[in-house]
Amino acid sequence: MAKVRTEDIIKQFDLELISGEEGIHRPIITSDISRPALELAGFFNFYPAERVQLLGRTEVSFGERLLEHERRERMELLCNDTTPAIIVSRGLDIPEGLIESAERNSVPLLRTTMKTTRFSSKLTNYLDGRLAPTTAVHGVLVDIYGIGVLITGQSGVGKSETALALIKRGHQLVADDCVEIRQEDENVLVGTAPELLEHLLEIRGLGIINVMTLLGAGAVRPSKKITLSIHLELWDENKHYDRVGLDEEKLKIIDTEITKLTVPVRPGRNLAVIIEVAAMDYRLKKMGVNAAQQFTERLSQVIQGGQDDDI
């Protein structure tokens, strides 16, 4: 199923439909936008027909200088079977030949009053967000001191209860149970909640609660960049858990790797506090303060000093 169709950008940017209404259901498959200057000059060898075509003052003015038969021929070539839309900016007058070609080939011909560069930027940002690679992860996403923390683990391990405790401590819920993740840019993962589950939290024994209704608008947020993953698992006596913090595990989501910590769960451990401290420690490491590294260096100095004394 297409993520974006021409009718979506018509609604999003309140565009005026001039002709080619039959094609408004065409899919848009790329966020790249083309300004067909060379094409209007007659060079169609590498025409990117699958892109939205944007005509500004330069393109329209150039088209007006063409001979009548040249203009009609090139307008016809612009209206390709795969072209999702042709948009004219600045509210400019549209050549009659383009209106006729768009109608004949069912290519939506649209107009906006925005300036060309501004509209191009807004449309690109919109399409980048909508067309970004996406996936879904079973877990909870919470904003802790500005750090997007993805909490994962098998069903029943206590993810939602931990999230509730974090929210009560002043942090914000983004999504519970299912986290929709899109890669908006290189190494940038953004998580949101499915529309059906927005603001909801499931607590076994209580059922489903609406966090925003219960605790206020400050307890939730619509989306968050994910930078840290914390995996909860039942304590395994036979497994070695990192006690210093030098080992760094990575979790790959789509094409991006983020830091992953594994936290064992057993009675008596305050998971909310542990995760809160993990987020603060992660932020300190990004600022260049690594407690584990500093401890290791001091330990090495002590050992080296003891060896020197023996000598």
- To the question of whether residue 155 is assigned a binding role by annotation, the answer is yes
DSSP state for residue 79 in the 8-state scheme: S
- To the question of whether residue 158 is assigned a binding role by annotation, the answer is yes
- To the question of whether residue 202 is assigned a binding role by annotation, the answer is yes
SS3 content of the chain, % helix, strand, coil (to 5): 35, 30, 35
Could you give the CA distance from residue 294 to residue 287 in angstroms, rounded to a whole number?
14
- To the question of whether residue 306 is assigned a binding role by annotation, the answer is no
Question: Catalytic: which of 69, 243, 252, 266?
Answer: 243
Could you give the CA distance from residue 289 to residue 295 in angstroms, rounded to a whole number?
11
Q: Which residue from 201, 198, 189 is spatially nearest to 222, judged by alpha carbons?
A: 198
Catalytic site includes residue 138: yes
What are residue 154's phi and psi, to 5 degrees?
Answer: -65, 160
Measure Cα distances from 8 to 25, 131, 299 in Å. Answer: 9, 12, 61
Catalytic site includes residue 224: no
Helices and strands per DSSP (H, E), number in the chain: 10, 16
3-class DSSP state for residue 174?
Answer: strand
Neighbours of 79 (CB within 10 A): 24
Which amino acid, residue 276? E
Neighbours of 46 (CB within 10 A): 7
Catalytic site includes residue 243: yes
Q: How far apart are the first and last CA of the chain?
A: 74
- To the question of whether residue 154 is assigned a binding role by annotation, the answer is yes
DSSP state for residue 270 in the 8-state scheme: -
Catalytic site includes residue 159: yes
Q: Which residue from 151, 16, 163, 147 is spatially nearest to 93, judged by alpha carbons?
A: 16
CB environment 115-131: b (16+ within 10 A), e (fewer): ebeebbeebeebbeebb
Question: Catalytic: which of 51, 111, 159, 182?
Answer: 159
Question: Catalytic: which of 138, 250, 269, 298?
Answer: 138
Question: Catalytic: which of 128, 177, 225, 260?
Answer: 177
Which amino acid, residue 11? K
- To the question of whether residue 239 is assigned a binding role by annotation, the answer is no
- To the question of whether residue 61 is assigned a binding role by annotation, the answer is no
Residues flagged as binding site for ATP: 153-160
What is the set of active-site residues?
138, 159, 177, 243
Residues flagged as binding site: 153-160, 202
Residues flagged as binding site for Mg(2+): 160, 202
